[in-house]
Amino acid sequence: MPWRRDGARMPKELMLFVKDVDIFQEITYLATYFATQHGDRIARDVGTDPRQVELDLDGMRASMGLPPGTSGIIHRELQERRELIRKRMEERRSRSRR
């Protein structure tokens, strides 16, 4: 079983599946599922009715540094994006120290 950075272990098959999952599609599915199947309880327990809240995929795209209208992103692409952002931030820090 592959090790994750946080020390958890996951079966190889699950890791391969996760790497090819469209994150936006899954978030949309899960939000819709919980809103329709558990909306009353969520509204009661949390105080916000998820059926009345619009899913903000544009906000999610922006938080990931993706352009508006990006139709999807898989885990591998997200990891590559994070690495690019990390490198750019490190370069910026290095320049500001000079």
Task: Encode pLDDT of 1-27 as tens digits.
Answer: 555 566 667 677 776 666 788 888 988
What residue type is assigned to position 29 of the chain? Y
What residue type is assigned to position 98 of the chain? R
Among candidates 48, 46, 54, which has minimal Cα distance to 28?
54
- Is 71 a residue whose pLDDT tops 70? yes
Instruction: Write down the pTM of the prediction.
Output: 0.60
Give 36's pLDDT tier (boundaries 50, 70, 90). very high
